[in-house]
Structure 1
């Protein structure tokens, strides 16, 4: 029997609700950072080279699609842990720039390797064809969510 869109939506909702944090300690927490902090640090490390003075909070906010207040909250937490440092923009002292520290570079490199290893296990489990289909569908799903937020 064919399922209608409401039945399919309910099944997707049931499946989405099963994506919970794994029991036990999350790899991020072992390093003293939250997943949201990992994302921000990863952005800083990816978009700022060694000679960079850092990024503005507004830039980070735009790239991560979160409010400047949310970015500031995350930055405060990361600064307490010694993962980022703030400095004044050399061209405009009113602007604060944020950059990753050497400590965060080491931690992010290790966490990225752990994540990659975990996802490689998923790829092996799914196989090449299902992995490619999963990527296609997940990308399409993200496009839908982005469009929905704009409305």
Structure 2
């Protein structure tokens, strides 16, 4: 990579930080959580959304790995979601010590309302973009996320 490449990457870094802050700490997340209509905190709701987007029951260790969190933290969030009737545990028929976590119908509906609110908001934010620009954003963002995730995995292996 050349110095010009480094400068291009460096120029993007503040924008990534700006975007991350706007999404995670801004009113958008609160607005989407309000639309979901459930009374759990943000970390617990993130677990619910992760389960919903995965589309299959997961062990707590798998949730923790996907979210890059420690298992005790995920366990506490799952317990909160259980108390609110948003997830349920099902036993592993091959290992009775293990349970899988999956959204209940109410949990799926809440996660879907949350996702629909975000999708609607982001669609509105880029509605004035050309179709090609929207397609490029999706393609490049997916590629970027995949490459960063793969590269981060190499750090964990060392």
Cα distance in structure 2, aligned partners of 1:61 and 1:110: 23
Query: 1:121 aligned to 120, 124, 143, which one?
Result: 124
Q: Report what 1:51 is aligned to.
A: none
Q: Cα RMSD (Å) of the superposition?
A: 2.8
The answer to whether the 8 A contact 2:60-2:101 is kept is yes
Q: Whose helix fraction is larger, Structure 1's or Structure 2's?
A: 2
For the pair 1:147 / 2:135, whether they are aligned, the reply is no
Contact 2:59–2:101 (8 Å) recurs in 1: yes
Q: Are the aligned partners of 2:49 and 2:111 in contact in 1 as well (CA < 8 Å)?
A: no
TM-score, normalised via structure 1 length: 0.72
Structure 2: segments with no counterpart, 5+ residues: none
By relative contact order (CA 8 Å, sep 6+), the higher-ranking structure is 2
What are the ranges of 5 or more consecutive residues in structure 1 without an aligned counterpart?
48-53
Is contact 1:28-1:38 (8 Å) kept?
Answer: no
Mapped partners of 1:138, 1:60: distance in 2:
23
Question: When the two structures are superposed, what TM-score results if normalisation uses the length of structure 2?
Answer: 0.70
Paired residue total: 141
Q: Secondary structure at the match of 1:9?
A: helix
